[in-house]
Amino acid sequence: RVLVGTKVDESHANWVTAYNMLTGIRVAVSRTNAKVDRPLTDEDFEVKQKSTFDIAGNELVPSAKYDFKFKDYAPWVFRHLRALFRLDPADYLMSLTGKYILSELGSPGKSGSFFYFSRDYKYIIKTIHHAEHKFLRKILRDYYQHVKENPNTLLSQFYGLHRVKMPYGKKIHFVVMNNLFPPHRDIHQTFDLKGSTVGREYKEEDLENNPRATLKDINWMRRKRTLELGIQKKKLFLEQLHKDVRLLQRLQIMDYSLLIGIHDLQRGNEENLRDKTLRVFNPGGNSAEDNDPNAVLMRTPSKLENQRKARELRQMIQSEKPVPMNETDSRMPDELDEGHSRPGFIFNQDDGGFRATHEDNSPADEIYYLGVIDCLTHYGIVKKLEHFWKGLSSDRSQISALPPYEYGERFINFIEKVTMSREEAARLAQQQEEQ
Ligand code: ATP
Ligand code: CA
Ligand code: CA
């Protein structure tokens, strides 16, 4: 159970940025959560809370190692969202606290975004384009409403929206969201599916060097893969996906995909995962970092230590004290050691994921970890991004700007077509043969 990433420590190029991101989150989240809960107001959706950090500190902002400015957007809305997603505030802070704070899988993909994992791999920080940031603020009300009405939504779970700015640096916007993949289970195969074939292939010959690369639509079809769900689970999954896609269509969003991580129960967790080329995920799938020799192994700390740490953090939140900066040990929350089912969440019911079933609903041999990701691209932005990229590279044909309604239809039709139990797939193959 060893996880790999590039540890962001003081020698890392993005150490200061990462440190400031986490410091800002910690102060902002503990500030909001220290207050007595109250219902949301219309204004809550517009709020921007600005803090200036420096070595000296003041009564509102504790002293920090570096000078930077931090903005927390709609803090009360995100507090409520975290509650809807049933995150424990102390647990959230603890995940985003500490010295070996993050591991970076930061090779900028097509979009230029950087990805960081919290040290327990439960959360992902993704830097986003300014247009995506503005768009999320614009749709926040609809998103919030949707989550309220659909606790089992498959859409990315957003836990926070922030901005850091260092002296003379540019503004960096980022979101905190759920890592779809579990820290405690090997993901044997990953697919990122859009229902399109244009540019949707990971080169099979590269798989040898990077066996855990994220595969795409064409690879999926070549393998004649299906999402093996029997009658009951298929219905649950497709119904929720329909609702989610309808929202995306209404908000004119496109370019999203269904991310599927497959844990093969026959293979289980392998011992030989100390291979340093392993990636828990691999944004873009084509990074130079795939063979990064600096990849660092992360280990789980003792459970007792973690329990003590969680207690301390809870007390701090209750006593309304800001969490101090020197909470910089390398321990991780004990959740790594525990079962990962999230009670009450349909798609996390089986060891944190959604177990494959046969037609008669009896369990099959795979666990799926899935969700709809990259859902902040507004139709209007696509044009801008296209323009932006033209200056950087000549091969920009991949971005096919299909209008959002058609995009959604193509997406859902594809997923619908490939969701079937093994038995259903066999019957279908039989029928095709007979024709
Ligand atoms: P592009 O716009 O070029 O598709 P991007 O920078 O917007 O790229 P995403 O599509 O959001 O990036 O994600 C890229 C890859 O990162 C995904 O294919 C997946 O492997 C991984 N990834 C993204 N979000 C998550 C998540 N919530 N949990 C686990 N893995 C994720
Ligand atoms: Ca994407
Ligand atoms: Ca994107």
The residue type of 180 is: L
Residue 49: CA atoms inside 13 Å, Cβ hemisphere, count?
21
Q: Given a cut of 60, is residue 5 above it in pLDDT?
A: yes
What is the Å distance from ligand 2's center to 255 Cα?
6
Q: Token pair for residue 213? A: 């690369």
Ligand 1 pocket test target in 113, 373, 384, 399 with most atoms within 8 Å of CB: 373
Q: Which atom of ligand 1 is nearest the CA belonging to 113?
A: 6
What is the Å distance from ligand 1's center to 224 Cα?
23
Q: Is the pTM of this model over 0.90?
A: no
Q: Given a cut of 70, is residue 175 above it in pLDDT?
A: yes
pLDDT value for 246: 98
Maximum C-alpha span of the chain: 78
pLDDT tens-digit readout, 90-114: 889 988 875 545 667 654 457 788 8
Q: Which atom of ligand 1 is nearest the CA belonging to 177?
A: 27
Least confident residue range of 84-88, 209-213, 364-368, 378-382: 378-382
Mean pLDDT of 281-310: 41
* Ligand closest to the CA atom of residue 377: 3
What is the Å distance from ligand 1's center to 316 Cα?
34
pLDDT tens-digit readout, 264-291: 999 988 744 433 222 333 333 333 333 3
User: Could you give all domains of the chain from N- to C-terminal order, each with its CATH number?
Assistant: 3-181+294-337 (3.30.800.10), 189-279+340-434 (3.30.810.10)
pLDDT value for 341: 67
Residue whose CA is at the smallest distance from ligand 1 atom 23: 373
Instruction: Please list the helix, strand and coil fractions of the chain in percent, rounded to the nearest 5, in that order.
Output: 35, 20, 45
Q: Which atom of ligand 1 is nearest the CA belonging to 190?
A: 20
ipTM entry: 0.99
Average pLDDT over the chain, rounded to an integer: 82
pLDDT tens-digit readout, 318-372: 665 555 544 434 344 444 444 566 777 999 999 999 999 999 999 999 999 999 9
What is the Å distance from ligand 1's center to 174 Cα?
14
Ligand 1 binding pocket, CB closer than 6 Å: 109-111, 113, 124, 156, 177-181, 190, 192, 214, 259, 281, 283, 373-374
pLDDT value for 105: 65
pLDDT tens-digit readout, 109-136: 577 888 888 888 899 999 999 999 999 9
Q: Given a cut of 60, is residue 33 above it in pLDDT?
A: yes
Q: Given a cut of 90, is residue 153 above it in pLDDT?
A: yes
pLDDT value for 317: 62
Q: Given a cut of 50, is residue 192 above it in pLDDT?
A: yes
Which string of b and e fits 50-60 if b means at least 16 CB within 10 Å? ebebeeeeeee
Which positions ≥6 away from 351 have C-beta within 8 Å? 182, 185, 263, 339, 340, 341, 367
DSSP 135: H
pLDDT value for 385: 65
What is the Å distance from ligand 1's center to 375 Cα?
10
